[in-house]
Amino acid sequence: MPATLGATTYNLSGSAATASKPGLLTSDTPNAGTTVVPPIPVQGLCTRSTNQWTAGVPGLLVPDNPCFTNNAFNDTLGPVFETPAATEPIVIHGPANVRLYTSTPAGNGMYSVTLSDVAPDGTVSRLTGGWQIVSARELDESRSRYIGDTLVQPYHPFTKASQTRLGAGKVEPVDVEIFPTRARIAEGHRLRVSIQAFDVPHLLPTLGDLLGTLVPLTVHTGPDTPSSISFGSPS
């Protein structure tokens, strides 16, 4: 356990598509852009999350399934943002917050966000992830965790009274809590943030709710809409 933690923030910069055309994670001023997060109901299926949320049964049946060790295929199904190859190690300690300035014509939707380590050979190792419903985005600052003024663990009430659909034409921040981890992105590797709208089979909507989730989300980046990832690092 480090004696002290400092906050590290990377801004999502510009527009992104899939892993073939990633957006940038930068500590500098971000470029403005918009990124569409397509709702594809098989997002998350080819990941370690499937094994995790089915009590490890798929891993017992197919122990050499590459989906459980490499997120590269799944990252072709949604936009990603990543740092350049690290010139010095990036250390993530504890929880993280991914703030996504969002608009959507549906007024609702879900984010599934994954943090990964991208090796020089292209292998994508999932580190941790988190999920957030857009309508349940209300933030209780008094119960959230900060390092200095930087939010690293948002607290959402998740009550019926706190839920508000996002108005048409509105752009508002949605804070996605990322499960705590301890990870070191080595020199030459890249830190990746993958953004999707499903995590199957975990959090698969019921049939009655499915149609309402088949509407894209849009992530806005830039100085006026500073989407970002923040986490603790030893200082």
4 Ramachandran zone, left/alpha/beta (phi>0; psi -120 to 50): beta
Tokens of 54: 């089915």
Residue 50's pLDDT is: 74
Domains of the chain: 5-234 (2.60.120.260)
- E strands, the chain, in order: 5-13, 23-26, 33-37, 80-82, 90-103, 110-118, 124-133, 145-147, 150-153, 172-185, 190-196, 217-221, 228-234
Q: Which amino acid does the sequence have at 209?
A: D
Provide the 10 A C-beta neighbour count for residue 134. 22
Residue 55's pLDDT is: 67
d(CA 229, CA 214): 26
Tokens of 189: 């590797």
Query: What global pTM score does this model have?
Result: 0.92
Q: Which residue, among 6, 27, 1, has the nearest Cα to 235 in the 3D structure?
A: 6
Residue 212's pLDDT is: 59
Residue 45's pLDDT is: 79
Residue 168's pLDDT is: 87
Reduced to 3 states (helix: H, G, I; strand: E, B; else coil), residue 24 is strand
Residue 54's pLDDT is: 72
Q: 91, exposed or middle or buried, with CB in 10 Å at 0-12, 13-18, 19+?
A: middle
* Below-70 pLDDT ranges, the chain: 1-3, 53, 55, 57-59, 61-62, 202, 204-213
Q: Which residue, among 50, 73, 71, has the nearest Cα to 60 in the 3D structure?
A: 50
d(CA 196, CA 75): 9
d(CA 10, CA 25): 5
